[in-house]
Amino acid sequence: MFKTITVPKRTIMTPGPVEVNPKVLQVMSNSILGQYDPVFLDIMNEVKELIKQPFGTKNEQAFAIDGSSRSGIEAAMIAILEKGDKVLIPAFGRFAYLLAEIAGRCGAEVVLLEKSWESPFAQQDIIEKVKEVKPKLVAMVHGETANGQIQDLDEIGAYCQANDVLLLVDMVATFAGVELKVDEWGVDIAIAGSQKCLSVPAGMSLVTFNKRVEKLIKERYQLELGLSKDIRNERFIQSNYLDLSQLMNYWNEERINHHTEATTLVYGVHEGLRLLLEEGLENVHRRHLLNNQAIVAGVKAMGLEIFGAPDTKMPTVTPVIIPDGVDALAVPRLLLEQFGVEIAGSFGELNGKIWRIGNMGYSSRHENVLAVLGALESVLIYYGADIQVGKAVKAALDVYL
Amino acid sequence: MFKTITVPKRTIMTPGPVEVNPKVLQVMSNSILGQYDPVFLDIMNEVKELIKQPFGTKNEQAFAIDGSSRSGIEAAMIAILEKGDKVLIPAFGRFAYLLAEIAGRCGAEVVLLEKSWESPFAQQDIIEKVKEVKPKLVAMVHGETANGQIQDLDEIGAYCQANDVLLLVDMVATFAGVELKVDEWGVDIAIAGSQKCLSVPAGMSLVTFNKRVEKLIKERYQLELGLSKDIRNERFIQSNYLDLSQLMNYWNEERINHHTEATTLVYGVHEGLRLLLEEGLENVHRRHLLNNQAIVAGVKAMGLEIFGAPDTKMPTVTPVIIPDGVDALAVPRLLLEQFGVEIAGSFGELNGKIWRIGNMGYSSRHENVLAVLGALESVLIYYGADIQVGKAVKAALDVYL
The CATH number for A56's domain is 3.40.640.10
Helix (H, G, I), strand (E, B) or coil at B357: strand
Q: Which helix (H) or strand (E) holds B65?
A: strand B61-66
* DSSP, res B313: B
Is the link from the previous residue into A17 a cis peptide, with omega within 30 of 0?
Answer: yes
CA distances from B184 to A23, B55, B123 (A): 46, 11, 16
ipTM of the prediction: 0.97
Beta-carbon contacts below 8 Å between A and B: 291
Residues A261 and A322 in one domain: no
Q: Is residue B1 part of a domain?
A: no
Neighbours of B162 (CB within 10 A): 9
Widest pairwise Cα distance in chain B: 71
Identify the domain boundary among B276, B306, B334: B276
Chain B residues 113-132 with CB within 8 Å of chain A? none
| Residue-wise burial string across B95-132, b where 16 or more C-beta atoms lie within 10 A, e elsewhere | bbbbbbbbbbbbebbbbebeeebebbbebeebbebbee
Closest Cβ opposite residue A30 in set B7, B239, B348: B7
Asked if A220 reaches chain B (Cβ–Cβ under 8 Å), the answer is: no
Q: Is residue B6 part of a domain?
A: no
Residues B270 and B301 in one domain: no
Closest Cβ opposite residue A4 in set B27, B70, B229: B27
pLDDT at residue number A227 = 87
Neighbours of A303 (CB within 10 A): 15
Asked if A72 reaches chain B (Cβ–Cβ under 8 Å), the answer is: no
- What does the DSSP assignment read for B23-52? HHHHHHTSPP--TT-HHHHHHHHHHHHHHH
Asked if A144 reaches chain B (Cβ–Cβ under 8 Å), the answer is: no
Question: Which structural domain range is residue A379 located in?
Answer: 280-400
* Terminal-residue alpha carbon distance, chain A: 52
List chain B residues with CB under 8 Å of A238.
105-106, 238-239
pLDDT at residue number A1 = 77
pLDDT digits (tens, 9 = 90+) for B221-236: 999 998 888 999 999 9
Asked if A277 reaches chain B (Cβ–Cβ under 8 Å), the answer is: yes
Q: Is residue B3 part of a domain?
A: no
Chunked into runs of 10 residues, chain B (401 residues) has average pLDDT values of 95 97 97 96 98 98 98 98 98 97 97 97 98 98 96 98 98 98 98 97 98 98 90 96 97 93 98 98 98 98 98 98 96 98 92 97 98 98 97 98 97
Cβ distance B71 to A66 less than 8 Å, yes or no, reads yes
Query: How distant is the alpha carbon of residue B116 from its chain centre?
Result: 21
Cβ distance B225 to A68 less than 8 Å, yes or no, reads no
Residues making up the annotated binding site of B for substrate are 356
* Residue A391 to residue A374: CA distance in whole angstroms: 9
Chunked into runs of 10 residues, chain A (401 residues) has average pLDDT values of 95 97 97 96 98 98 98 98 98 97 97 97 98 98 96 98 98 98 98 97 98 98 90 96 97 93 98 98 98 98 98 98 96 98 92 97 98 98 97 98 97
Cβ distance A263 to B201 less than 8 Å, yes or no, reads yes
Residues A161 and A266 in one domain: yes
Q: Where are the alpha helices (DSSP H) in B195-348?
A: 211-219, 244-251, 263-279, 281-301, 330-334
Residues A40 and A132 in one domain: yes
Distant-in-sequence, close-in-space partners of B346: CB < 8 Å, separation ≥ 6:
B94, B146, B147, B319, B353, B354, B355, B356
Identify the domain boundary among A248, A276, A304: A276
Residues making up the annotated binding site of A for substrate are 356
CB of A117 closer than 8 Å to CB of A350: yes
* Terminal-residue alpha carbon distance, chain B: 52
CB of B357 closer than 8 Å to CB of B372: yes
- What does the DSSP assignment read for A141-172? ESEETTTTEE---HHHHHHHHHTT-EEEEE-T
Asked if B69 reaches chain A (Cβ–Cβ under 8 Å), the answer is: yes
Closest Cβ opposite residue A32 in set B20, B69, B97: B20
- Measured between CA atoms, the residue of chain A closest to residue B44 is A5
Q: Is residue B339 part of a domain?
A: yes
Residues B256 and B302 in one domain: no
Beta-strand ranges (E) seen in A172-250 are 189-193, 204-209
The CATH number for B312's domain is 3.90.1150.10
Residue among A1, A2, A70 with most chain B CBs within 10 A, to mutate: A2
Residues A216 and A296 in one domain: no
Residues belonging to chain B: 401
pLDDT at residue number B348 = 81
Identify the domain boundary among B276, B301, B335: B276
Residues A40 and A189 in one domain: yes
Phi, psi (deg, nearest 5) at residue A17: -70, 150
Phi, psi (deg, nearest 5) at residue A353: -105, -30
Asked if A37 reaches chain B (Cβ–Cβ under 8 Å), the answer is: yes
Cβ distance B260 to A17 less than 8 Å, yes or no, reads yes
Dihedral (C-alpha) B97, B102, B104, B107: value to the nearest 10 degrees? -160
Q: Is residue B70 part of a domain?
A: yes
Neighbours of A129 (CB within 10 A): 16
Neighbours of B351 (CB within 10 A): 13
pLDDT at residue number A347 = 85
List chain A residues with CB under 8 Å of B360.
none
Q: Is residue B10 part of a domain?
A: no
Q: Which helix (H) or strand (E) holds A279?
A: helix A263-279
List chain B residues with CB under 8 Å of A5.
27, 30, 43, 267, 270-271
* Residue B102 to residue B270: CA distance in whole angstroms: 29
Helix (H, G, I), strand (E, B) or coil at A357: strand
Residues B46 and B179 in one domain: yes
Instruction: Name the domain count of chain B.
Output: 2
Cβ distance B224 to A101 less than 8 Å, yes or no, reads yes
* Residue A373 to residue A357: CA distance in whole angstroms: 10
Residues making up the annotated binding site of B are 356
Closest Cβ opposite residue B226 in set A101, A236, A271: A101
Asked if B15 reaches chain A (Cβ–Cβ under 8 Å), the answer is: no
If 0-12 CB within 10 Å is exposed, 13-18 middle and 19+ buried, where does residue A256 land? middle
List chain A residues with CB under 8 Å of B193.
260
Residues A117 and A241 in one domain: yes
Residues B339 and B246 in one domain: no
Q: Is residue A15 part of a domain?
A: no
Residues B126 and B255 in one domain: yes
Half-sphere exposure of A209 (CA within 13 A, CB side): 28
Residues A190 and A324 in one domain: no
List chain A residues with CB under 8 Å of B69.
259-260
Q: Is residue B77 part of a domain?
A: yes
Asked if A26 reaches chain B (Cβ–Cβ under 8 Å), the answer is: yes
